[in-house]
């Protein structure tokens, strides 16, 4: 059955009783997940500031607010101060693990030392697990990424990163039909790239101080990973928006006009500096129209097209927040002529004689001839589904009827 995973990393950094931007931002992420819990919550490391019991207790209490099973990977901060994994093991479980989950496998690697030097047998273990896995999608949870495209002084030592990348590439070649996704944190930003057929994602947006500009991926976020009944995963970047502002160039359109809507989101930052980013790639978003017969909108791009006179509300949703604008559509003789010409160009009017007659009636209407628009509409109704497609006939009739009703 389909299921959803939530990934987040690098937030909280619990230290004693301190309340910081990192704890507040993580709390906001978790509150939103608690409202609609995932099937599994994965925290990719750096949840506590250092290895002290009070920090682990606060981390557990925070995660307990989400009614979902969880997996936690060890980050470098979980062992800072002692370099011991004992408290992590007692609290969250093993730092190296293979988990079968539905039609996916989750392989958790211990990179808490910012290296695999703690247990170099992990290389052979990874090779064996990847070789025997029959999952459609394999997720490798690796707190420290194989490389740092942000040049923020993170990432595994070069030789170790290259060795892991070679292992993942070989596993992909051995079974090209499966997906291998390497999920990392450590860098407080979002980034994604493909290499040798393997998907690498850095997602460290749960609350820590950011390591990149907003335009480069430095914004607070988490991932929603939706796995379908075939085991194929869709990964959505969920920004921590507190508000969205929708910018429309104009709200009054003529039938046939297009409008490119844009939106910006204000990211929740608690006491950290304000962040505003476009509601566009890489963040997940959905545009929709309340009346697509009147105005349609591309669900991803916000490209809007007016079809027939009337009103419609265009909405955009992202990160659990939304914004909307009302669009009004009217028509003129010039816009109706342009729409008729477009119908011909796009194959909606297939007969040249019908097309010429329609244009002639519009010219007559422009010259003030009474009844010209009536003739235009009568011809379209007669040829609807014959020499004029049903969709185009209905659209042209609606625009002409609007003009006729207004004299």
Percentage helix, strand, coil, to 5, in the chain? 30, 30, 40
Q: What is the pLDDT of residues 161-220, one digit of tens each?
A: 999 999 999 999 999 999 999 999 999 999 999 999 999 999 999 999 999 999 999 999
pLDDT of 81 higher than 90:
yes
Q: What is the pLDDT of residues 350-362, one digit of tens each?
A: 999 999 999 999 9
Q: What is the pLDDT of residues 99-126, one digit of tens each?
A: 999 999 999 999 999 999 999 999 999 9
Residue 155 token pair: 């990432």
Residues 72 and 40: their CA atoms lie apart, in Å, by 11
Q: What is the pLDDT of residues 284-325, one digit of tens each?
A: 999 999 999 999 999 999 999 999 999 999 999 999 999 999
Mapping DSSP onto H, E and C, the string for 285-346 reads: CEEEECCCCCEEECCCCCEEEECCCEEEEEEEEECCEEEEEEEEEECCHHHHHHHHHHHHHC
| DSSP-derived 3-state class of residue 266 | strand
Cα–Cα separations (whole angstroms), residue 226 to 45, 61, 68, 137:
21, 26, 15, 12
Cβ–Cβ < 8 Å for 308, 294: yes
pLDDT of 378 higher than 90:
yes
- Strand pairing class (303-306; 258-260): antiparallel
Give the pLDDT score at 168.
Answer: 99
Q: What is the pLDDT of residues 231-261, one digit of tens each?
A: 999 999 999 999 999 987 789 999 999 999 9
Q: How many CA atoms lie within 13 A of 377 on its CB side?
A: 14
Q: Report residue 407's pLDDT band, with 50, 70 and 90 as the boundaries.
A: confident
Strands (E), 197-278: 198-203, 221-227, 233-239, 241-247, 252-254, 258-260, 262-267, 275-278
Mind listing the domains of the chain with CATH numbers? 3-239 (3.60.21.10), 242-330 (2.60.40.1080), 333-405 (no CATH)
Cβ–Cβ < 8 Å for 23, 13: yes
Query: What's the mean per-residue pLDDT of the chain?
Result: 97
pLDDT of 31 higher than 80:
yes
Q: What is the pLDDT of residues 125-146, one digit of tens each?
A: 999 999 999 999 999 999 999 9
Percentage of the chain beyond pLDDT 70 is 100
Cβ–Cβ < 8 Å for 155, 147: yes
């Amino acid at each position: 059955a389909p299921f959803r995973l939530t990934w987040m990393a690098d937030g909280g950094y619990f230290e004693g009783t301190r309340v910081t931007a990192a704890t507040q931002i993580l709390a906001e992420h978790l509150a939103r997940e608690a409202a609609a819990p995932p099937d599994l919550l994965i925290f990719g490391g750096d949840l506590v500031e250092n290895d002290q019991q009070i920090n682990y207790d606060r981390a557990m209490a925070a995660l307990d607010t989400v009614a979902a099973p969880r997996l936690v990977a060890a980050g470098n901060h979980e062992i800072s101060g002692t370099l011991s994994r004992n408290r992590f093991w007692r609290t969250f479980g093993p730092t190296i693990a293979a988990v079968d989950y539905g039609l996916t496998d989750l392989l958790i690697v211990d990179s808490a030392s910012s290296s695999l030097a703690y247990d170099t047998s992990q290389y052979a273990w990874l090779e064996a697990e990847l070789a025997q896995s029959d999952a459609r999608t394999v997720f490798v949870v690796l707190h420290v990424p194989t490389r740092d495209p942000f040049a923020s002084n993170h990432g595994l030592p070069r030789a170790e990163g290259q060795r892991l990348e070679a292992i993942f590439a070989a596993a992909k070649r051995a079974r090209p039909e499966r997906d291998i996704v390497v999920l990392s944190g450590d860098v407080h930003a979002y980034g994604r790239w493909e290499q040798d057929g393997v998907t690498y994602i850095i997602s460290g947006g749960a609350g820590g101080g950011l390591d990149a500009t907003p335009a480069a991926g430095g914004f607070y976020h988490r991932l929603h990973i939706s796995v379908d009944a075939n085991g194929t995963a869709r990964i959505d970047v969920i920004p921590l928006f507190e508000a969205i502002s929708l910018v429309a160039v104009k709200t009054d359109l003529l039938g046939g006009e297009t409008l490119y809507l844009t939106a910006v989101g204000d990211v929740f930052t608690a006491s950290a500096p304000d962040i505003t980013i476009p509601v566009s790639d890489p963040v997940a978003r959905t545009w929709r129209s309340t009346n697509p017969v009147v105005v349609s909108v591309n669900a991803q791009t916000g490209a809007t097209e007016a079809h027939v006179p009337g009103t419609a509300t265009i909405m955009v949703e992202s990160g659990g927040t939304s914004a909307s604008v009302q669009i009004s559509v009217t028509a003129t003789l010039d816009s109706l002529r342009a729409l008729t010409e477009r119908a011909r160009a796009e194959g909606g009017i297939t007969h040249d004689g019908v097309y010429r007659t329609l244009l002639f009636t519009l010219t007559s209407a422009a010259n003030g001839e009474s009844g010209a628009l009536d003739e235009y509409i009568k011809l379209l109704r007669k040829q609807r589904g014959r020499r004029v497609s049903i969709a185009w006939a209905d659209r042209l009739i609606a625009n002409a009827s609007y003009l006729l009703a207004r004299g």
